[in-house]
Structure 1
Amino acid sequence: MNITVIGQGYVGLVNSVILASFFHNVIGLDNDKNKVATLKQGIATIKEPNLQSLMSDAKDRLRFTTNAKDAIRPNKIVYVAVDTPEGKDGKPDMTNFNACLDDIAKNAIQDTYVVIRSTVPVGTNARAKKYLEENSEHKFEVISNPEFLSQGSAIDDMLNPSRVVIGVTSKAGEDLMLQMYTNYQKRKIPILITTPESAELIKYASNNFLAMKISYINEIARLCEMVDADIEEVAIGIGLDPRIGRNYLKAGIGYGGSCFPKDTKALSWLAMDREVPLELVRATIKINNEQPAILMHKINSHFRSLSNLTIAVLGVAFKAGTEDIRNSPATAVVKYLLEKNAYVKVYDAMAIENFQKELQRHSRIEYSTSILDTLKDADAVVILTDAKELRELDRSCFIDNMKKPVIFDGRNLYKPANMAGTTYYSIGRRTIK
C-alpha cells in the first residue's frame, strides 16, 4: 500500500519506518527542513534501538519531504502522527493537529482514509471528518488507531504490540486496516475493532492507569519509610498477584516524559469538561507532582547548607534509554540544587545535549562525559534514572571517587544491605549510615 505519514517525531518516524518494513511505500511529511534533510540522507533523527538499521533496510520504500502537496496528493491513506502537547488547564493543544487537517483538506485529490495515531480527545475523529468534508469536495474515512509506544522500546512496541486498537465507522475502513496490518494478523496479535470514541478513550485510560500504578506505589513508599517496611519487598508481594502484575510498581521520583504527564492532565480536563471529575486521576497527578520534593527533602535534611557543595547528578532523561528530558523530574531537582547555590556536575549517556538546551548556560553546572569524572570529589551524588550502566555500579565507585560517599538514590538501584561504607538514601526504604 502507499501511505503518507504526517509528522516525523517519535511516533511518526517509528511508524514510517515500521510501515515501510511491512513492505508499504511510505512518504514521511514534516515541516522541519533540517529534520527532513537529515532523514533524506538516511539518518534517523531520534535515538531508538534498531531504528537506524530498520530505516536503512527499508530505504527504498521510504521518502521524506516538507511539501504537503507532494506528500498527500499521491496517496489515499494518510497517517496523522503529530504532537498534541499540553495546553491551558491540561486541555490538549490541537494546533499541530488542526494544521494537518488543513493540509489534508487542501491537498487531497481523492477520497481518503485518515488514520489518527496522535493522542487526541474523545470526539476528535468525528470532528475531523466533519471538518475535512466541509472543506473538501472529497469523502473521508477517519480512523482512530492509537499508538502504545514507549520511548526506548518504540520499535519493538510497534513490531510486537500487546494489542492493536482500531476505531472505525465502516466495514471498508475496518477491511483496509486489517489488510494494512496483515503482519499482525499472521502472528495472531490481538486486534480490537471499536468505535472511534472507544479507541480514543482506550489510549487515555491505558496511560492513566499505568500512571496511577506509579503514583500508588510512590505513596505506599512514603508509608514504608514511616513503618520501617521496604517498598521493594512490598512491591514484589503486590505484583506477584496476577490480578495486579509487577509492571509499573517501581517506587522512585515520579513519572515524566511526553505521555503520562500530558495524558493524565488531558483526561482530567476532559472529565471536568463533561462534569465527571475523576478523583483517582487527580490524585495521581498530585502525588506525582509532589514526588521529586521527597528526594529534595532528604538532601536538605542531610546537609545544613548546600552552598558551594559539589553535587553529582547521574541521569537527567525522564527514563533510561532515551535522550528525552520532557517533564523529567531531574529538571526540578537540578534547579533546586542550583537555587541552593550548589555546584552541579551532570552525567547522562544520551540526554546531555537536550538538558543543556533546557537549562541553557549556567556558571554552576558542569557536564561530564563519564560517570567516574562526575563522581570525582563530589560531596554527594543524586541518581535520577535507572540506566543499566548506573545499576551496575559497585559501591567502591562511590567510596573511591567522592569526598564522602553520600548517595541519594531516586530510583532505588541498589540494595541497602550492599551499601555499607556509604550514606545511602533511597525511596521507601531504610537509610544506611
Structure 2
Amino acid sequence: MKIAVVGTGYVGLVTGTCFAETGNHVVCVDIDASKVARMQRGEIPIYEPHLDVLFERNIKQGRLSFTTDLSEGIRDAQIIFLALPTPPGEDGSADLKYVLQVAGQLGGLMRDYKIIVNKSTVPVGTAEKVRTAIAEKATTEFDVVSNPEFLREGFAVDDFMKPDRVVIGTSSERARKLMAELYAPFVRQGNPIYFMDERSSELTKYAANAFLAMKITFMNEIANLCEKVGANVDAVRIGIGADDRIGKRFLFAGIGYGGSCFPKDVQALEKIAEDARYDFRSLDAVMAVNEDQKLSLIRKVKGLFPEGLRGKKVAMWGLAFKPDTDDIREAPSLYMIEALLREGASVSAFDPEAMENVRKQIGDKIQYGKDEYDVLDGADFLIIATEWAVFRTPDFERMARSMKAKLIFDGRNLYDLNSIRERGFTYYSIGREPVL
C-alpha cells in the first residue's frame, strides 16, 4: 500500500518506519524543514532502540521518504495517518489544534478516496470533528478511522511489529477491509484486531493508560505503607503478581510515573469525565499521589540531613523518565533536581541518553558527567532516578573510593538489601527497610 504519515515524533516515525518494513511505500510529512532535511540524509532524529536499523534499511530500499509538502506527501496515499501532538491545554484537555488544522488542509488536497486515521491520542468525539473539518472542502469520498497506538518508549519497535492487539474504530466496511489488510502482516501469530466504533476506540487508549497509571500509583502507596509497618514491597509485589487477575507487570514501586503519555492521558481522561459531568474520583487520587511520589526520596534526604542541604554535592544516576529512552517529559529527576537546587545543593548527573535534552531544558544549572562514576567524585550521596541497566551492577568499591560517604537513595529499588548491606553502604529505597 501507499501510506502517508503526518508528524514524525515518536509515534509517527515508528509508525511510518514499521509500515515500510512490511513492504508499504511510506511518505512521512513534517513542517520542521531542518528535521526533514536530517531524515532525508538518513539521520534519525529520536532515540528508540532498534528503530535506526529499520529506518536506514527502508530509506535505502526506497520505501521510506520525507517531505515538508503535505500535498506531495498525501497525493498517492491510500491511507493517511495523523500522528500529531495533542498537548494538554490549561484545563487538562487534549489540544486538537494541530490535528484539526491538518484535517482542514486535507479536505482541499484530496483528489480520490482516502482513509484518514487518527493515530494521535485524542478525546472521545474527535473522529467526528476531523470528519467535519475535512468535509468543509472535500470533493471526494473519504473515511475517518480511530487507531490508537499502544507503544512503550524503549520498546516501540517490538510493540508495533508484534502488537498484543490492534484497536480500530470505524463504521465503514470499506475502511475496515483496508485497515485489516494493512495490519495483517503484524498479527500473523493470531493476536487480535479489535474492530469497534470510533468513540469506543478513542476511549480505549485513555482507559488503558489511566489503568496502568493507577496500577503504578497503587503499588507506590503500598510501598509507602510498607515503610510504615515494616513490610517489604518486593515480597508484596511477588505475592500479588502471582494472581493472574492482577498480573506481574507495572507492580514495581518507585518515584512515580512520567513521560509523554501517562500524565497527559490521565489528565485528559479526567477532563473528558468532567465534560460528561462525571466525577472520576480515582483519577484525582492517582494524579495527587503521583505528584507527591516524585519527591518521596527528597523527603528521605532531608530527614537524614536536618541541618539542610546547602553546600552538599549530590550525584544523580538517570534523568530520563524511564530507561531506553531520551524522553524527559514529566521525569521525576527534574522535580528532584529543582528541589535540591532550591535547598542549596549542587547536582552532578549522568544519563546514557537524556543529558542533552536536560541541558536544553535547564542549561548548566547542574553538571553533566561523562559516565556514571565521573559524577560520584566528592559526592555526599547518590540518588538513582532511572533504572538503566548500566546502573544495576556497578563497581561498588570504585563508588566507595569516590564518594565522601557510602550513601545511596534509590528511587528504583535496583539493589538487593543483603548485598548492599555486605558492601557497607547506607541505603534508602522505596517500600523497603533502610540499610543503616
Indicate conservation of the 8 Å contact 1:80/1:114, yes or no. yes
The equivalences for 1:10-159 within 5 A come to 10-59=10-59, 60-159=62-161
Q: Distance in 2 between matches of 1:233 and 1:371?
A: 29
Q: How much has 1:239 moved relative to structure 2? A: 0.6
Identity %: 40
What is the aligned partner in structure 1 of residue 343 from structure 2? 340
Equivalent residue letter for 2:418: A
Q: How much has 1:103 moved relative to structure 2? A: 2.4
- Which of 323, 326, 332 is the equivalent residue of 1:323? 326
Long gaps (5+) in structure 2: none
Comparing 104-113 with 410-419, greater Cα deviation is found at 104-113
Deviations 1:178-213 (A, max 9, x none): 111120343212111111111111100000000000
Q: Secondary structure at the match of 1:143?
A: strand
Q: Distance in 2 between matches of 1:360 and 1:395?
A: 30
The equivalences for 1:120-199 within 5 A come to 120-199=122-201
Kindly tell me the number of residue pairs found equivalent between the two proteins. 431
What TM-score do you get using the length of structure 1 for normalisation? Answer: 0.98
What TM-score do you get using the length of structure 2 for normalisation? Answer: 0.97
Deviations 1:87-138 (A, max 9, x none): 1121011121122212212321222210111000011012211221122222
What is the aligned partner in structure 2 of residue 293 from structure 1? 295
Q: How much has 1:394 moved relative to structure 2? A: 4.4
Deviations 1:9-34 (A, max 9, x none): 10000001000001010010001111
Q: Does 1:384 align with 2:352?
A: no
Indicate conservation of the 8 Å contact 2:400/2:406, yes or no. yes
What is the aligned partner in structure 1 of residue 367 from structure 2? 366
Deviations 1:339-386 (A, max 9, x none): 111111010010000001111232xx2110111111111001110000
User: Cα gap change, 1:270/1:25 in structure 2, threshold over 3 Å: closer, same or farther?
Assistant: same
Q: Secondary structure at the match of 2:256?
A: coil
Q: Distance in 1 between matches of 2:368 and 2:174?
A: 55
What is the aligned partner in structure 2 of residue 406 from structure 1? 407
Indicate conservation of the 8 Å contact 1:257/1:318, yes or no. yes
What is the aligned partner in structure 2 of residue 357 from structure 1? 360
Q: How much has 1:160 moved relative to structure 2? A: 0.6
Deviations 1:256-310 (A, max 9, x none): 0000000000000100110112111221111101102211110111112111111
What is the aligned partner in structure 1 of residue 308 from structure 2? 305
Indicate conservation of the 8 Å contact 1:258/1:327, yes or no. yes
What is the aligned partner in structure 1 of residue 217 from structure 2? 215
Q: How much has 1:397 moved relative to structure 2? A: 3.8
Q: Distance in 2 between matches of 1:399 and 1:298?
A: 21
Equivalent residue letter for 1:429: R
Q: Secondary structure at the match of 2:315?
A: strand
Q: Which runs of 4+ in 1 moved over 4 A?
A: none
- Which of 223, 233, 236 is the equivalent residue of 1:234? 236
What is the aligned partner in structure 1 of residue 226 from structure 2? 224
Q: Distance in 2 between matches of 1:186 and 1:33?
A: 37
Q: Distance in 1 between matches of 2:352 and 2:258?
A: 18
Q: Secondary structure at the match of 2:348?
A: strand
Indicate conservation of the 8 Å contact 2:104/2:136, yes or no. no
Comparing 42-51 with 315-324, greater Cα deviation is found at 42-51
Q: How much has 1:76 moved relative to structure 2? A: 2.9
Indicate conservation of the 8 Å contact 1:317/1:325, yes or no. yes
Q: Distance in 2 between matches of 1:162 and 1:77?
A: 23
Comparing 280-289 with 325-334, greater Cα deviation is found at 280-289
Q: Distance in 2 between matches of 1:395 and 1:217?
A: 29
What is the aligned partner in structure 2 of residue 416 from structure 1? 417
Q: Does 1:432 align with 2:411?
A: no
Indicate conservation of the 8 Å contact 1:133/1:139, yes or no. no
Q: Secondary structure at the match of 1:64?
A: strand
Q: Distance in 2 between matches of 1:179 and 1:392?
A: 46
